[in-house]
Structure 1
Amino acid sequence: MITQDSIEALKARLDIVDVVGSYIELKRAGSSFKAPCPFHDEKSPSFVVNPTRQKYHCFGCGAGGDSISFVMEYEKLTYPEAIEKLAASVNFTLHYTDGGAQKKRSNLLETLNEWYQKLLEQNKTAQEYLHERGIYASSVERFGIGYAPASAETLRFLEQRRLPSAEAIEQGAIGKGDDGRLFARFIERITFPIHSPGGAIVGFGGRTITGHQAKYVNSSQSAIFNKSRLLYAYHLAREAIYRRREIIVTEGYLDVVMLHQAGFTHAVATLGTALTAEHLPLLRKGEPKVFLAYDGDKAGRAAAFKASKLLSASGFDGGVVLFEGGLDPADMVKNAQTEALNTLLHRPIPFIEFVIAEMIGSYDLQDPKAKESALHEGIGFLKTLTPLLQEEYRPYLASKLGVSPSLIRLGNTQNTAAKPISLSSHEDTEELSFVKTILEYPHITDSILDFLDVSMFRHHAPEFEAAIRAEPNNPRLNALMMNNSIRVFEGDTGVKKALLTFLENHYTRELKKINTQNTISFDQKSYLIRQLRDKIARLKKGELVPLG
């Protein structure tokens, strides 16, 4: 049981604006903050957070309380679970009572990181790699960069330190195979500790130096690690972000390290994933301008396009900086091109202009039909903006297309960012979650297609097919990516669990259909029923059933 003194001390450490703002977007309203209530559907914000009283209250549904009660309600946690999650986020050590004796929660990730840092000092290959990339020793220390050894060494270290394996699994430091054997998640990699905005280590990123198939890996999803909500080095950049009212978002850990080294201490990075709606509450803090510093290759432009649509529809100010010729921010700092880098970062392409240019650039405007499609897509994008911005950018879109502004008919000029475009008359959130997961993590497409095909989708087959074909300008997919109510399945475990449920439901429906079929022979019907029952039984045991 957690001691009351610990709970009171933790409450004194927490700021409710930071806590609530890590889950939902808050906008200042006088001395308080407002947002649409996360606990019931509403169009006008009636959810108020009061930093003076450290309380929240919804005038619509009556929900209210402090930081702990918010996390309990939002995450559906028990009181002790919410306290432990908040304590972990601010690196606070709780005290427990157990028959009168006190015990402390182990600082497992901090202990592991200290060991990784010592191992880096002994590994010449890792040191040479960092030196070749231009990273100073002072940066290695500031960012806590380390080195993870072979799996057996990590397991032995945890055992020697008597660090509980259950907690190590829970926090993503180690995993357990299907055969029950434990393994370290970071093997022969340079490690980058990842912190919560409050400064607590919540996971790691790892870069291989011995040729592992995956160049970068991150900690697995856990109660304290959600890569769609975290930004690398935000805890170090926070002061500069608030002071400068600017934030640079890059694609890589080394870009951030080198940018800080060159004085751009307001730089952060996403954790190997695209910028998502879940990042927006953190980006909103301090109301900075957002600058996307991405590679100028095809993948970088696609990522910048997607992020720019999200940020412009959400009302962010800022722009895109693309690095051409195979260079990235880290390379420019290493090559002593700091002045050129500074010039680039101060000449971003505004989000809306970048989106329109990329959108139009994907069509052959010499083809009248293609030009018409570009017009419709451009109008669709403008409708995600506020009425004022729609009117301001009508002439810009028209000029890019080479048409009269009178053709840009926007109709109802309500801002649709708050109300995502309807994808179909019947919205199946489970199907849409598979589509969104493929869009967020395209590398898992092949593995999902081992078990699913388009015929299994009753309501969203067009979206599933478009996601598989990776259509970057598909309006249905763009609407889905801006629909915050559709979740993404996180990690291998999340995807497997979702597949098991989806497939069991699908094959159960198929079984009912076969049972009522009168147009096939008895033998064929019996054979199909046996097959379907076998598949359902295997799925219930946790075994994924391939197609065929």
Structure 2
Amino acid sequence: MIDKTSIENLKQRLDIVEVIGSYLELKKNGANYKCVCPFHNDTSPSLVISPSKQIYHCFACGAGGDSIKFVMEYEKLSYPESIEKLANMVNFSLSYTSNNGAKKEERKLMENLNLFYTQQLDRHLTAKSYLNQRGIAESSIEKFEIGYAPSSFATLDFLSKHAYTMSESMEYGVAGIGENNQPYARFIERVTFPIYTPTGRLVGFGGRTLSNHPAKYVNSPQTKHFNKSQLLYGYHLAKESIFKQKKIIITEGYLDVIMLHQAGFKEAVATLGTALTHEHLPLITRGDPEVIVAYDGDEAGINAALKASILLSQHALRGGVVLFAGGMDPADMVQKGLFDALNHLFRKPQPFIEFALERMIKKYNLKDPLLKQHALEEAMSYLKTLPQAVQESYTGLLSEKLGLHHNLIKIQTHKPKRLEKKERVFEDMLELTIIKTILSEPTLIETVLDTIDSSMFKTHQEEFTLLLENHFEHPKLRRILLWEDIKIYDEKELIASMISFLYHYYSEKFQEIKSARELSYEKKQFLIRKIQEKMMKLKQGELVPYESISTL
């Protein structure tokens, strides 16, 4: 079992913006953040995340809660699984208890294995020589914790001697069971590159072979701790520079990142042997940086850059593409000391949309009218995925590249579909202000209860009742808390709003009693006099105690 105190300590470490931002692309919206809700078919950002209250709420479907609830719902995990997932995300060490309540020792398999790999590096001259040949300095080896994975037997022996079971090793993706039912280490005779989460938790390894293995590079397999599509190599070391420089350089490999950092480009990161995907966007967009895609100039690099450009431009990200020609990559340029050339390239990347259009058109022989038409159709299909103003801005470039008159390149705009009429929901902002103020400042509840009863609320009686019954997790109260149009009053402002609320309430009761036929003349006059007294005091700025009209 996870120790309860450990869970409470974890909750203090969690930042809901960081948690949800690791799954979804967030946009700043006043004091809060907004994004498209993943819990229903959302077409516009309906999910609001509050850093101050550490909760989220969807104003369309009502989903909401804290960081733990989000991970449970998004990943379909149990409560303990979500706790462990969040602990991994924020590099927090949970404490466990056995059935008798005694605390269990933390295992730290990945950290100890990484230390084993780094110690092995000094003992293997071939690995050391390879790193030296690539121009990697000792300081970079230390900074990036580069190591060496020896034979399968040596790694398995290390794990066994440290009492790590095969199930634990498999859980972290460092060992497996072969076809012959024999255990094996995942990384054999490879230079190792530890892979960390943005918060600095070691979750996987990359390995570069030094033998004749057909797979030059391998990564840890997918595990509950490691998802390569959500991580970027070196991000934990680059994030400070990314936020400061407002720029992120995305490369293709480990050595590119290491060498660029060595040359002072500390905002460099790399995808982990996979293409740039939607899953990377929440991490890439943190801090709203300019994004530079820095790939090799070979066919594979160009195709990867094209896909990345389409993805990033469709999400309105600033930046562009840098391709490295002549069979060189960023690591080669650093090794050759071409720092000024690198600076120039990174200062003037080719904008994503321009690059995408150019590369789409280059695939076709424009001397063939039929193929030119195909090029036009592919380019237009892409442009239509972008905002209309952006589409219009690039029609001139497209006509120039294709050698067509600009009149032939027309953006077909579609009339927006008529939305179904929704039933109009009336909101009483005065009632909502009183409720939100009490939610935010619970000490003011007595001031309110002395003068107001839930029966006085015409529109939001249910919400006020939920407040009095302490159902603070209810979606209707969470909605009020995160609705920025509703103000939070101080005590003086609250009293003024209550006076207004009460005056309006007693004014309506005055009219009801005047027209009530079932009341005797004497009762009616008594009630009118009572209400007039209350209204007079309210006019003078004095709160009046609540009395039920039915009991007067």
Q: TM-score, normalised by structure 2?
A: 0.74
How far apart, in 2, do the equivalents of 1:90 and 1:177 lie?
A: 33
The 8 Å contact of residues 387 and 413 in structure 1, kept in 2 or not, is answered as no
Which residue matches 2:330?
329
The answer for the alignment partner of 2:117 in structure 1 is 116
How many angstroms apart in 2 are the aligned matches of 1:369 and 1:362?
A: 13
Indicate the residue corresponding to 1:72 in structure 2: 72
Equivalent position of 2:478 in the other structure: none
Conserved 8 A contact 1:309-1:352:
yes
Aligned to 1:250: 251
Amino acid at match of 1:16: I
Matched with 1:465 is: none
What CA deviation, in whole Å up to 9, does each residue of 1:490-525 have, x standing for no partner? xxxxxxxxxxxxxxxxxxxxxxxxxxxxxxxxxxxx
Q: Which structure is higher in RCO with an 8 Å CA cutoff and minimum separation 6?
A: 2
SS in 2 for 1:38: coil
Q: Does residue 359 of structure 1 match 2:346?
A: no
What are the Cα deviations for residues 89-111 of structure 1, in whole angstroms up to 9, with x where unaligned?
22211111211200133111111
CA distance in 1, matches of 2:207, 2:317: 31
The aligned residue for residue 37 of structure 2 is 37
The one-letter code sitting in structure 2 at the alignment partner of 1:261 is Q
C-alpha contact 1:292 1:319 (8 A) present in aligned 2: yes
CA–CA separation in structure 2 for the residues paired with 1:329 and 1:413: 44
Instruction: For 1:394 and 1:110, locate their aligned partners in 2 and report how far apart those are by CA, in whole Å.
Output: 54
Are the counterparts in 2 of residues 151 and 186 from structure 1 also a CA contact under 8 Å?
yes
Counterpart residue number, 2:375: 374
1:15 — aligned with what? 15
User: How far apart in 2 are the matches of 1:182 and 1:12?
Assistant: 40
One-letter amino acid of the counterpart of residue 101, structure 1: A
Q: Aligned partner of 1:63: which letter?
A: A
Mapped to 1, the partners of 2:165 and 2:315 lie a distance apart of 43
Return the alpha-carbon distance in structure 2 between the equivalents of residues 333 and 414 of structure 1: 52
Equivalent-residue separation in structure 2 for 1:173 and 1:58 (angstroms): 40
- SS of equivalent to 1:228: helix
**Per-residue deviation, residues 445-504 of structure 1 (Å, max 9, x unmatched):** xxxxxxxxxxxxxxxxxxxxxxxxxxxxxxxxxxxxxxxxxxxxxxxxxxxxxxxxxxxx
Q: What is the rounded CA distance, in whole Å, between the counterparts of 2:256 and 2:75 in structure 1?
A: 33
Q: Which amino acid aligns with 2:365?
A: D
Show the counterpart of 1:526.
Answer: none
Deviation at 1:53? Answer: 1.1
| Paired amino acid for 1:48 | V
Residues 334-357 of structure 1, C-alpha deviations (whole Å, 9 max, x = no match): 111111111111111000000011
* Amino acid of the structure 2 residue aligned with 1:230: L
Tell me how far 1:15 sits from its aligned partner. Answer: 1.4
Kindly state the Cα deviation for residue 56 of structure 1 after the two structures are TM-superposed: 0.9
**Which residue matches 2:241?**
240
1:207 partnered with 2:194: no
Q: Percent identity?
A: 57
User: What letter matches 2:189 in structure 1?
Assistant: E
Write the deviation string for residues 27-68 of structure 1: whole angstroms up to 9, x where unpaired: 111111111111111212110111111111111111111111
Question: Is 1:194 aligned with 2:174?
Answer: no
CA deviation profile, 1:79-133 (whole Å, cap 9, x unmatched): 1111111112222111112112001331111110011000001111100100010
Does residue 1:397 correspond to 2:402, yes or no? no
3-state DSSP class of the match of 2:228? coil
Give 1:413 deviation, angstroms.
5.9
| 3-state DSSP of counterpart to 1:370 | helix
Q: Which AA in structure 1 matches 2:288?
A: E
Q: Secondary structure at the match of 1:396?
A: helix
Distance of 2:121 and 2:353 partners within structure 1:
44
Aligned residue number for residue 84 of structure 1? 84
* Corresponding residue of 2:5: 5
Q: Measure, in 1, the Cα distance between the counterparts of 2:305 and 2:255.
A: 19
Q: Is the 8 A contact 1:304 1:320 kept in 2?
A: yes
Matched residue SS, 1:254: helix
1:322 is paired with a residue of what secondary structure?
strand
- Scaled by the length of structure 1, the TM-score of the pair is 0.75
Distance of aligned partners of 1:56 and 1:414 in 2 relative to their CA distance in 1, 3 Å threshold: farther
| Code of the aligned partner of 1:204 | F
The AA in structure 1 aligned to 2:344 is T
Query: Aligned-pair distance for 1:17?
Result: 0.9
- AA partner of residue 405 (structure 1): H
Q: 2:302 aligns to what SS in structure 1?
A: helix
The 2-side partners of 1:354 and 1:143 are apart by 33
What aligned pairs does 1:423-502 form with structure 2 within 5 A after superposition? Answer: none
Q: Shift in Å at residue 414 of structure 1?
A: 8.4
Q: State the Cα distance separating 1:179 from its structure 2 match.
A: 3.4
Question: Structure 2: how far apart are the matches of 1:105 and 1:18?
Answer: 25
> Is 2:196 the partner of 1:170?
no
- Work out the number of aligned pairs and report it: 415
1:177 aligned partner, one-letter code: G
2:204, 2:376 → 1: CA distance?
45
1:286 match: secondary structure = coil
Letter in 2 for 1:173: V
Report what 2:319 is aligned to.
318
Q: CA deviation at 1:318?
A: 0.4
Q: Which residues of structure 2 form unaligned runs of 5+? A: 417-552
Whole-angstrom distance in 1 between the partners of 2:134 and 2:127: 11
- Cα drift, residue 144 of structure 1: 0.8
Q: Are 1:32 and 1:49, in contact at CA under 8 Å, matched by a contact in 2?
A: yes
The amino acid across from 2:21 in the alignment is G
Q: CA deviation at 1:410?
A: 1.8
| Aligned-partner Cα distance in 2 for 1:402–1:110 | 59
Task: Give the letter for the 1:287 counterpart.
Answer: D
* Residues 345-381 of structure 1, C-alpha deviations (whole Å, 9 max, x = no match): 1111000000011111111111111111111111101
Task: Report the AA paired with residue 303 of structure 2.
Answer: A
Once the 2 structures are TM-superposed, how far is the Cα of residue 387 of structure 1 from its aligned partner? 1.1
In structure 2, the residue matched to 1:286 is 287
| Contact map agreement 1:386 1:413 (CA 8 A) in 2 | no
Alpha-carbon shift at residue 401 of structure 1 (Å): 0.9
